[in-house]
Amino acid sequence: MANESKLFEGKTVLLTGGTGSLGKIMVKTLLRGHHGVPGKIIVFSRDEAKQHFMRLDYLEQASRTEHALFDNFTRLLEFRIGDVRDYAAVCSAVRDAHIVVNAAALKQVPSCEYFPIEAVNTNILGAQNVIRAVQEVGHQVEVVVGVSTDKACKPVNVMGMSKALQERLFIAANLTSRRTRFVCVRYGNVLASRGSVIPLFHEQIESGGPVTVTTEKMTRFLMPLSKAVDTICAAIQDAQPGETFIPIAPAARIIDVARTLIGERPIEVRITGIRPGEKLYEALISEEEALRSVARGDYYAIAPMLPELQREAIERPALDAEYTSNNGLLDACEVLQLLERHQLLHGDVIREGHEILA
């Protein structure tokens, strides 16, 4: 594992989409230096407001001021405005990077269903811009991590389909990139991240309900953002070219999460029906991928499908069936323990920005 290594020591780390929930926790992890102190951390994203407030948080500025930007490029933590859709901007960002984590994405399922071309432009063409920029100008880049989602496994919605193609782009990039490893990570729902179900449930509870659940049968993987970051670090350190790292994570029925958060309060749980593009359960590893999966500590590693990238034959796969959120579900008591452990039983904790979730 990468916990106390010098994985990032002296390296320039580029985080595309770095102002999102994952990017914020990744930056905090890098600044703690448990994996070595980076030489530079570049947060690359298109939202200037999010960058501004993230910058102020790290500078501990009490007031809004433009002066925080003036010495941006001399600091360990550097912010750059840009969009992965813009090849020139991506080239500028990757030019001096050693490690690239591509977290830029359109990830809301309904938005991608209604505007599929936007998902294509960011999740597919944006990923290709990263690959091309690394190959053409990122001569120091050692490893690129494509951040994916359980929805990319056996996808039924545009978001999942676009992320599945992103995975294949990063895997295939290894065929023409001898000096850079391209690897992927794929994980499920992140507890209390922006847009996730737990903050929504807290808002509904505080307004007196009802708490809306699509169906009693729906299950999802549940893991803290810190585990997502750990998965990225593990892939940077240990993944072979073209491998996809999957965290071994708990799963639960969403209705059990809702009822646990409600507790003894007289609040209705209302069943609303499955939304466009949703599944009853999510899969992290398909039946076909299970045959190419091996155990790596707290993770599964899926070997690439392309024979040119396969290092050795897998005689004993770690799994003999698909790995889904219906496997080993937490019961109601275990859901309570999980939410207590990550301090998620109360909405005020989430509002105060509790996103570290160790």
Residues 254 and 220 sit within 8 Å (Cβ to Cβ): yes
In the annotation, is 6 catalytic?
A: no
Rounded alpha-carbon distances, angstroms, from residue 289 to 220, 292, 312, 322, 328: 19, 5, 15, 8, 19
Structure tokens at 305: 């499908």
Question: Which among 24, 151, 163, 279 is annotated as catalytic?
Answer: 151
Residues annotated as part of the active site: 151
